């Protein structure tokens, strides 16, 4: 009996060490699956009734496999390799312009100061018609990167359509090595204050260095008493860059983030190694639903260590870490290899991609909402991004204004208005003049907005028309629809301030570029001014962080 017990114990030990094969041996499953997949691929490639492209067919198979995981695990073909370099190094060969799709037209949406596109006169709002000999439109949007990017020093001919010009404008632009700045703008704001504002838009390798340089530069000008670190709309980037940025604010030897892979016993902890260049300056971090990944690592560390206040809206909720694995033929695999945890131990991952997914046999840390404690014993929660200490909305309450923004009407109006008034002294233009011109623009563009109320009334009208009440009720229904039209016009007047705020940001971006847009947006930024009020009130700041006065 004793021998039997010893044998069973030994078997259990060997099994736990992986020295005894199981019926569901992982490698046996992999080998069998590869064999089946390979045979299906070969049979279809050679025998399908219509000839298939073997490479495209395999690419479809790879995408199908990866689509069963999370959206961050992707196959990177030769054409996408350059984009990975941009993310990691922040450099590429190009003309210094951001291109986007506006009303189904390829449009210049932003210019990077100091590079060929901006120097040679390309404007925000220009519609790209042709690149070299290639006509471009929404169907060739995915090819733009290949057409515009290239070796520094090479030429590219760009032909654009410009509002107010009868003929297209042609530019012969020299491609240059574009160094994308993570820190898109910094300075004292308000100008007369001791509050430093830093707008961080990315996390490539140089992010931490840029933040450090900015803070040192500002310290030379005057004392930095407080800092607003703006991470809104920042989609993240490199894990190392996030840690590097954290080190500029949190104390030395403090835990910043923990990373856990498939093996839950193997946890890597990252601690700050520098004395924070921001010193003891009070800190507010601005986040919104566009703040993700590395942005959330920084915000999470600041919150958990009670280093500062988080203001804005709930962040995106991406608590997964990706690794780029080089493959053959200049291709790569970007694969989720770990999950990260803030200093309190919480995961901020919002979506559980493993839930009800048969692909996964087990999940090391399921997504759930649990309570954790900061250094000062404040309650914070997992499973839903970074929840701000102070929630502040920064968008218009008007659904019509939101629709105008979504339809690109502010962008289009600013392009037209700016081109028609090139020599205007913008400081002397009255708000009423801009607003009236915008209303005329909407009428000329035959802009239509249908509210939920109108949709409901129109559905009612259809029901009435199908019955015998139409003759009696339709006049009253028409009166309601006319009243809706009047109310929509009144709504535009009611939210005139919100409309002017969006227009002024667009005009500022055309006058002064990215910096001008940021400065104009801060003037009427509810989240920023809330942050500033918190920073001004030392007692309130300390109460929010549970610091004894």
8 Å CB contact between 196 and 215: yes
Residue 42: HSE in the Cβ half-sphere, 13 Å Cα cutoff: 6
Any idea what the Cα angle at residue 57 is, between residues 54 and 58, rounded to 5°?
85
Q: What is the C-alpha separation between 545 and 377, in angstroms, rounded?
A: 9
Reference 176, options 198, 204, 156, 193; nearest CA is 156
Q: Which of 204, 206, 293, 521 is catalytic?
A: 293
Angle at the Cα of 58 from the Cα atoms of 54 and 64, rounded to 5 degrees? 150
Residue written as token pair 């009303």: 103
Phi, psi dihedral angles at 156 (to 5 degrees): -140, 130
d(CA 43, CA 31): 18
Please pick, among 230, 244, 304, 389, the residue that the annotation labels catalytic: 304
Kindly report each contact of residues 22-27 with a partner whose C-beta sits within 8 Å and lies 24 or more positions away, as own/partner. Answer: none
Q: Which of 335, 333, 539, 507 is nearest to 417 (CA)?
A: 507
Q: Are 309 and 531 in contact (CB under 8 A)?
A: yes
Please state the φ and ψ torsions of residue 178, each to the nearest 5 degrees: -90, 125
CA-nearest of 294, 99, 111, 97 to 200 is 294
Burial-class residue 428 by CB neighbours within 10 Å (0-12, 13-18, 19+): exposed
Helix (H) or strand (E) holding 511: helix 496-523
160 contacts 135 by C-beta, under 8 angstroms: no
DSSP letter string, 155-210: EEEEEEE-TT-SS-EEEEEEPEEEE--SEEEEEESSTTSSEEEEEE--BSTTHHHH
**304 noted as active-site residue:** yes
Out of 181, 248, 318, 334, which one is annotated catalytic?
Answer: 318
User: What are the phi and psi torsion angles at 190 (to 5°)?
Assistant: -55, 155
Evaluate whether 426 touches 506 at the Cβ level (below 8 Å): no
E strand residue ranges, 225-302: 226-230, 255-260, 267-271, 282-287
Is residue 399 among the annotated active site residues? no
Nearest to 99, CA basis, from 63, 129, 144? 144
Catalytic residues: 293, 304, 318
């Amino acid at each position: 009996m004793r021998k039997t017990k010893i044998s069973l114990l030994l078997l259990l030990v060997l099994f736990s060490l992986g020295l005894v094969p199981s019926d569901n041996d992982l490698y046996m499953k992999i080998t069998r699956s590869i064999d089946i997949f390979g045979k299906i691929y070969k049979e279809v490639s050679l025998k399908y009734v219509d000839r298939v492209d073997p490479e495209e067919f395999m690419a479809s198979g790879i995408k199908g496999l990866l689509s069963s995981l999370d959206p961050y695990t992707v196959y990177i073909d030769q054409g996408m390799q350059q984009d990975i370099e941009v993310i990691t190094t922040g450099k590429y060969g190009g003309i210094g312009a951001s291109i986007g799709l506006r009303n189904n037209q390829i449009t210049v949406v932003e210019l990077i100061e100091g590079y060929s596109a901006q120097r040679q006169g390309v404007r925000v709002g220009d519609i790209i018609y042709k690149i070299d000999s290639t006509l471009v439109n929404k169907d060739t949007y995915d090819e733009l990167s290949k057409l515009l990017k290239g070796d520094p020093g090479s030429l590219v001919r760009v032909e654009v359509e410009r509002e107010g010009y009868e003929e297209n404008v042609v530019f012969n632009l020299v491609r240059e090595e574009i160094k994308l700045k993570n820190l898109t703008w910094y300075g004292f704001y308000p100008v007369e204050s001791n509050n430093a504002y830093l707008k961080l838009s990315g996390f490539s390798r140089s992010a931490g260095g840029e933040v450090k340089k900015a803070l040192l530069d500002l310290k030379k000008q005057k004392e930095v008493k407080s800092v607003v670190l703006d991470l809104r709309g920042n989609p993240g980037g490199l894990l190392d860059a996030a840690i590097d940025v954290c080190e500029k604010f949190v104390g030395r030897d403090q835990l910043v983030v923990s990373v856990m892979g498939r093996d839950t016993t193997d946890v890597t902890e990252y601690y700050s190694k520098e004395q924070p260049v921001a010193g003891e300056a009070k800190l507010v971090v601005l986040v919104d639903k566009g703040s993700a990944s590395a942005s959330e690592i920084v915000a999470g560390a600041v919150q958990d260590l009670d280093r500062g206040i988080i203001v804005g809206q709930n962040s995106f909720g991406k608590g997964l870490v990706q690794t780029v694995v080089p493959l053959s033929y200049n291709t790569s695999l970007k694969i989720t290899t770990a999950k990260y945890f803030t200093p309190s131990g919480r995961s901020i991952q919002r979506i559980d991609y493993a839930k009800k997914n048969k692909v996964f046999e087990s999940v090391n840390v399921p997504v759930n909402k649990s309570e954790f404690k900061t250094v000062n014993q404040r309650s914070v929660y997992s499973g839903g991004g970074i929840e701000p200490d102070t929630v502040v909305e920064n968008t218009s309450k008007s659904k019509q204004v939101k629709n105008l923004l979504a339809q690109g009407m502010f962008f289009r109006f600013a392009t037209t208005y700016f081109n028609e008034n090139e020599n205007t002294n913008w400081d002397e233009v009255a708000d009423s003049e801009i607003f009236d011109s915008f209303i005329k623009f909407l009428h000329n563009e035959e802009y239509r907005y249908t509210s939920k109320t109108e949709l409901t009334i129109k559905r009612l009208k259809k029901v009435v028309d199908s019955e015998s009440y139409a003759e009696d009720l339709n006049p009253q229904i028409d009166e309601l629809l006319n009243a809706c039209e009047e109310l929509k016009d009144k709504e535009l007047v009611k939210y005139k301030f919100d409309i002017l705020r969006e227009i002024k940001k667009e005009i500022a971006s055309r006058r002064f570029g990215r910096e001008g847009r940021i400065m104009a947006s801060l003037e009427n930024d509810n989240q920023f001014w809330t942050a500033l009020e918190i920073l001004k009130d030392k007692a309130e700041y300390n109460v929010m962080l549970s610091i004894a006065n």
